[in-house]
Amino acid sequence: DQIPKRFAGTLRELLARVANDVRVAEVVTELGLTGLDQPLAKLSGGELQKGAIAATLLKEAELYFFDEPCSYLDIEQRLLVAQRIAALGATKSVVVIEHDLAILDYVTEQLHLLYGEPNAYGIVSQPLGVRHGINSYLEGELREENVRLRDSRIEFLAHPPRTGWDAQPLVSWPELEKQQGSFTLKVGEGEILQGQVLGVVGGNATGKTTFVRMLAGDLAPDTGKVELALQVSYKPQYITPQSDVLVEELLRSTEGFDEHYLNTELMNPLALETLMRQNLESLSGGELQRVAIAECLLREADLYLFDEPSAYLDANQRMVAARTIRRCMERRTASALVVDHDVYFIDYVSDGLLCFSGTPGEYGLAEGPFRMRAGMNHFLKRLNVTFRRDRNTNRPRINKPGSRLDRAQKAAGEYYYSS
Q: Give the DSSP per-residue string, 56-110.
A: HHHS--SEEEEESTTTT--HHHHHHHHHHHHHHHTTSEEEEE-S-HHHHHHH-SE
Q: Are residues 259 and 340 in the same domain?
A: yes
What are the Cα distances from residue 150, in Å, to 98, 141, 205, 209, 394?
19, 7, 36, 33, 19
pTM: 0.89
Q: Are residues 114 and 182 in the same domain?
A: no
> Residue 411 belongs to what H/E stretch?
helix 404-412
Mean pLDDT computed over 323-346: 94
Residue at a domain's end among 102, 119, 136: 119
Q: Are residues 353 and 209 in the same domain?
A: yes
Q: What is the pLDDT of residues 153-202, one digit of tens each?
A: 887 876 666 555 678 899 999 999 999 999 999 999 999 999 999 999 99
pLDDT of residue 229: 85
409 within some domain = no
Question: CA-CA distance, 47 to 131, in Å (whole number)?
Answer: 31
400 within some domain = no
Nearest to 171 by CA among 281, 305, 37, 273: 305
Residue range of the domain that includes 228: 169-383
341 within some domain = yes
- Given a cut of 90, whether residue 297 has pLDDT beyond it is yes
pLDDT of residue 386: 96
- Given a cut of 70, whether residue 252 has pLDDT beyond it is yes
Q: Are residues 175 and 46 in the same domain?
A: no
Question: CA-CA distance, 75 to 307, in Å (whole number)?
Answer: 15
If you ran DSSP here, which 8-state letter would residue 391 be given? T
CA angle 197, 203, 205 (to 5 degrees): 105
Which residues, including other chains, have CB under 8 Å from residue 189's CB and lie 6 or more apart?
A: 172, 173, 174, 175
Q: Are 183 and 356 in contact (CB under 8 A)?
A: no
**7: domain CATH number?**
3.40.50.300
Which of 9-13, 24-28, 114-118, 163-167 shows the lowest mean pLDDT across its residues? 163-167
- Given a cut of 90, whether residue 313 has pLDDT beyond it is yes
> Residue 304 belongs to what H/E stretch?
strand 303-307
Nearest to 379 by CA among 353, 397, 340: 353
130 within some domain = no
Provide the pLDDT confidence category of residue 149 given band limits of 50, 70 and 90.
Answer: confident
Q: Are residues 174 and 106 in the same domain?
A: no
CA angle 223, 229, 235 (to 5 degrees): 80
Q: Are residues 245 and 303 in the same domain?
A: yes
Q: Are residues 106 and 254 in the same domain?
A: no
173 within some domain = yes
Q: What is the pLDDT of residues 222-236, one digit of tens each?
A: 999 988 889 999 999
Q: Please give the tally of structural domains in the chain.
A: 2
3-state secondary structure of 247: helix
81 within some domain = yes
Question: CA-CA distance, 253 to 276, in Å (whole number)?
Answer: 13
Q: Are residues 334 and 245 in the same domain?
A: yes
